[in-house]
Amino acid sequence: MLVDIGVNLSNKRFKDDVGNVLQRAQQTQISKLVLTGTSIVESHAVIALCEQYSDRFPDMLFATCGIHPHDADDLRADSIDRLRALAAHPQIVAIGETGLDFNRNFSSPRAQQVAFEAQLELAIELNMPLFMHERDAAPRQLEILRHYRDQITAGVIHCFTGDKKTLFSYLDLDLHIGITGWVCDERRGLELQKIVHNIPLQRLMIETDAPYLLPRNMPSKPSDRRNEPAFLPYVVQAIAAARSESADEITAATAATAMQFFNFNRAM
């Protein structure tokens, strides 16, 4: 049993074949998928997908609702109220994707911090875990998280690609770490391959971040280069090799960690 904690299933690259993508995920023993909500509109969209496919794939689909740092400029006076209403949906299991991205600054750093803190406070109020993104913003993200950490139930830094010092800083705050196909990259994933063994199994979760980050260790890659949940075993393989553990161990441990982190049993 595998759990993919980050799937952008509302992305337009999936619009024609969601059912087939989910069927292939099921055939690959992916028992649960957490669809990522990145804005109010996308959060509505992932909830709609959860509802639409619930009969065909029972207890398999869950989602987050939040405002991605790239969309932080769109935060309005009523945005948090709208997220609070969305979060009441039984298949919403976390607040996010939220955090800071100073790599491209698609939204202003100031707006990103305002949106991040507002979502941290919402997660605290609702007693829900956080699904977080961070790129080139670790010092500020850590500073904000240190301020709120005591009140936060749990939080995952998804698609972690930082260095050892940053990894240890997040682990010191007792946060979870999400690893994607970045670790499969024989060039830019090298540093991550060297440090991934430092993540305790009860803090490690895995994700495809599909349709992005197609695992580079796939022997034959789809011609459209689209990543999908059924390719999650390649992420497991790369982590297992880097940690000198078996793929079965990584599969079982990350699934158990995700079950606890997202409290799926309660959600269902």
**Binding-site ranges for Zn ion (CB under 5 A):** 133
Whole-angstrom Cα distance, residue 158 to residue 149? 17
Coil/strand/helix, residue 158: coil
Q: For the purposes of burial, counting CB atoms within 10 Å of the CB of 254, is it exposed (0-12), middle (13-18) or buried (19 or more)?
A: buried
Residue of minimal Cβ distance to Zn ion:
133
* 98 close to 67: Cβ distance less than 8 angstroms: yes
Task: Report CA torsion sign: 232, 189, 213, 51.
Answer: positive
How many whole angstroms separate alpha carbon 184 and alpha carbon 200?
19
Q: How far is the CB of 177 from Zn ion (least distance, A)?
A: 13
Least distance CB 157 / Zn ion (angstroms): 10
At closest approach, how far in Å is the CB of 246 from Zn ion? 29
- Least distance (Å) between residue 59 CB and Zn ion: 25
Q: Which is nearer to Zn ion, 209 or 240 (CB)?
A: 209
What is the C-alpha separation between 268 and 165, in angstroms, rounded?
37
Q: How far is the CB of 252 from Zn ion (least distance, A)?
A: 26
Q: Indicate the residue among 133 and 176 with the shorter CB distance to Zn ion.
A: 133
